Each structure stands twice: as structure tokens, then as C-alpha cells.
A = this chain, B = another copy of it.
């Protein structure tokens, strides 16, 4: 599965959060990214090559819009990109995005807890992202549950590590993020790290993989038991 991250951020290089996330997805071969602001600023005319951008999207199974929330939406560059590249012909007539998934990675400066009825911001993140959900609906894409990065600056190192794993899974694991899909993802990642390692390291990694697979077998068997008990109760 291949993922394209479209990043909208007027100061991508200066953003600690964005740079932290960037170091992580470098390790994934099937994940590519594009900073939309750089795409526009590197063009002399301020126009981008729409045909090229449309063609570039063909290869990917998952498109992820990644941006800081500015006035309850993405920064203007993502909107410009959508208005330019996602022509009616491309999206509606040719259904070119159909069968792809649409993910959203949104970073918040304010606390996520403020985003609810009665809270300071009054509306939930889900409500504020409706325009993107409506776009997924129109284009036939599968809308993934948005990945919210809540006040990154206040997180301690352990929280940041957990965030990173969850983020990598959001980019490259099969959806939905069930326990099974997350374990399969972890095993695949571990298999990949074996390459070029010394024998004793490979053995250690295999031990972890076996242990994970054993656990997964146990979970499977427990699930069967629970199902049997439930069936008998009905």
C-alpha cells in the first residue's frame, strides 16, 4: 500500500511538529510526501502543473492531507491545491480518486478538549472538517478517522514516541486500526528491519516476531471462546 502525504504549512521548515513527524516517515519506503507551499513557491509563475500533479496521484492508495489548523480549516495552500488539481473533470466525471482513502492529520495549538458543544470552540473537530469529508463523499474516497495531534509542544518524550508509532500506523497500516491490523503492521516492520543485520540480531528480532504471532494466536483463540459463550447465551 502506497501513501502520499500532502503537507500544507506556510513555515514547514520552522515547525517543530512537522519536522518531528517528517523524521519518522522517512523510514517508510511506501510513503512519499509533498509540501504544497514549496510546490507553489518554487514555480516562477505561481501556477503549478495540474496534469503532472493529477498523474502523480495515480500510484497512491492513501492520500493524507497534513496541516496545522488555521482558523478552523487548513492553511490556504491546501485549498489552492484542491481548487487547482481536483478539477470537476478529474474528480467527478473521471472518478480518478475513487477507491483511494483520504486521511487527515491535523495539528492543534489549542486544547482538543475545547472542541465540543459548550466548550470554548463550540464545535468538534469532526464538524469543522466536514468540508473534507464532503469532498471524500463526492469523490468516492474512503474517509479515514482524522488523526489529531493535540498540543505537541506540551508532550513529554514518552508521549511523543507513542504519537510517532500511532502516526506511522495511520500512514501505512491497513484500516481500520484494529489490534490485528496493528500487529500485522508491526510484524511487517520488524521483518523489514532484519535486512543487513547480523545473525544474532536477526534471531532477536525473530524472537519478538514469534512472540507477537503467538500473542495474536492467543487473542484469536480467546475471541473464539468469547464468541462460543455468547452464542450459547442467545
Binding site for B on A (CB under 8 A): 10, 46, 70-77, 79-80, 82-83, 86, 121-123, 127-128, 130-135, 137-138
Contact = CB atoms under 8 A, between A and B. Distances in A.
Contacts of A83: 10, 70-71, 75-76
Contacts of A138: 121
A169 B56 CA distance: 48
B128 A134 contact: yes
Query: Most chain-B Cβ atoms within 10 A of its Cβ — which of A77, A127, A131, A134?
Result: A131
Nearest to A69: B131
The A contact surface, by secondary structure, is: helix
A120 to B, nearest CB: 8
Contacts of A72: 130-132, 134-135
B82 A131 contact: no
A123 B133 CA distance: 9
Given A74-B79, A75-B83, A128-B130, 4 more contacts: A70-B79, A71-B82, A123-B134, A131-B131
A86 B82 CA distance: 23
18 contacts: A70-B83, A71-B79, A71-B82, A71-B86, A72-B130, A72-B131, A72-B132, A73-B131, A75-B79, A76-B76, A76-B80, A76-B83, A80-B80, A121-B138, A122-B137, A123-B130, A127-B130, A131-B131
Contacts of A122: 133-134, 137
The 4 closest A-B pairs by CB, nearest first: A72-B131, A76-B80, A76-B79, A72-B134
